[in-house]
């Protein structure tokens, strides 16, 4: 799994899938990710939350195919007003685990683990999947009346510092450039 996004690598035993003694076929696992889980990663993008992950694992002789369904919310900072809020998340991810000589990552959805390994820790994969599925822009939504849920005091402060084009001091260099553009058109 990836460890380059996070300060601390996480190995949390409660997120292990012990596959060695399981029969070939489909097996289901449910994991509850709460604030203590998110706290292990010290990731400012999502410092907390409550997400349920349903993992459907299809075990074959030389391959584990995992289909993960995530449902819940994470605590994030609003990109507009900086206030934390609960962001709903519902998404799926796939992970393919092949057996090889050493643990290596093939790509984001496939890894090799040693043939003699008997369990797979999902913690790093879970946090990485959650962070990769965060929207690029995280902002409060609107209430049932269509009003913005952002912190109104912060929005007012930001608006008071916004540069207003009419109030800006005229710079003669920009005026000359505008004149050149207008003559060209």
- pLDDT band of 164, cuts 50, 70, 90: low
Q: Among 1, 2, 31, which residue's Cα sits nearest to residue 14?
A: 31
**Which whole number is the average pLDDT over 96-103?**
83
> What pLDDT, on the 0 to 100 scale, is given for residue 128?
93
Q: Among 109, 93, 119, 102, which residue's Cα sits nearest to residue 13?
A: 119
- pLDDT band of 168, cuts 50, 70, 90: low
> What pLDDT, on the 0 to 100 scale, is given for residue 28?
98
Examine residue 141 and state whether it is found in any structural domain, yes or no: no
Examine residue 70 and state whether it is found in any structural domain, yes or no: yes
Q: Name the β-bridge partners of 32.
A: 52
Examine residue 152 and state whether it is found in any structural domain, yes or no: no
**Which whole number is the average pLDDT over 113-128?**
92
Q: Are 97 and 122 in contact (CB under 8 A)?
A: no
Examine residue 94 and state whether it is found in any structural domain, yes or no: yes
Q: Name the β-bridge partners of 9.
A: none
Taking the C-alpha atoms of residue 88 and residue 40, their distance in angstroms, rounded to an integer, is 21
Lowest mean pLDDT among 21-25, 76-80, 121-125, 156-160: 156-160
pLDDT higher than 80, residue 175 = no
Examine residue 154 and state whether it is found in any structural domain, yes or no: no
pLDDT higher than 50, residue 38 = yes
Tell me the residue ranges of DSSP E strands in the chain: 16-18, 25-33, 48-59, 63-77, 84-100, 104-107, 110-114, 119-121
pLDDT higher than 70, residue 105 = no
pLDDT higher than 90, residue 7 = no
Q: Which residue has the higher pLDDT, 124 or 4?
A: 124
- pLDDT band of 181, cuts 50, 70, 90: confident
Cβ neighbours of residue 52 closer than 8 Å, sequence gap 6 or more = 30, 31, 32, 33, 70, 71, 72
- CA-based max dimension of the chain: 79
Torsion of CA 161, 162, 165, 166, to 10 degrees: -50
Examine residue 179 and state whether it is found in any structural domain, yes or no: no
Q: How many domains does the chain have?
A: 1
> What pLDDT, on the 0 to 100 scale, is given for residue 165?
54
Examine residue 124 and state whether it is found in any structural domain, yes or no: yes
Examine residue 172 and state whether it is found in any structural domain, yes or no: no
Q: Which residue has the higher pLDDT, 85 or 178?
A: 85
Query: Which tokens in the block code for residue 164?
Result: 């207003």
Q: pLDDT exceeding 70 applies to what percent of the chain?
A: 87
- Domain assignment of residue 114, given as a range: 13-132
pTM score, two decimals? 0.78
Taking the C-alpha atoms of residue 20 and residue 120, their distance in angstroms, rounded to an integer, is 10
How many CB atoms lie under 10 A from the CB of residue 70? 21
């Amino acid at each position: 799994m990836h460890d380059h996004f996070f300060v601390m690598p996480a190995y949390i035993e409660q997120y292990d899938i012990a596959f060695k003694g399981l029969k070939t076929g489909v097996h289901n696992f449910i994991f509850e990710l709460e604030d203590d889980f998110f706290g292990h990663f010290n990731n400012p993008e999502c410092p907390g939350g409550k997400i349920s992950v349903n993992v459907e694992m299809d075990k074959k002789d030389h391959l584990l195919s995992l289909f993960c369904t995530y449902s819940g919310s994470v605590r994030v900072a609003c990109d507009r007003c900086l206030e934390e809020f609960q962001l709903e998340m519902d998404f799926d991810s796939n992970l393919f685990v092949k057996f090889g000589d050493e643990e290596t990552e093939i790509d984001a959805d496939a890894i090799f683990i040693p043939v003699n390994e008997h369990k797979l820790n999902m913690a790093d994969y879970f946090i990485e999947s959650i962070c990769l599925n965060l929207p690029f822009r995280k902002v409060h939504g609107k209430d049932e009346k269509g009003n913005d849920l952002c912190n109104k005091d912060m929005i007012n402060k930001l608006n008071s510092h916004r540069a207003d084009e009419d109030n800006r001091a005229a710079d003669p260099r920009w005026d000359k450039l505008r004149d050149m553009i207008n003559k060209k058109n």
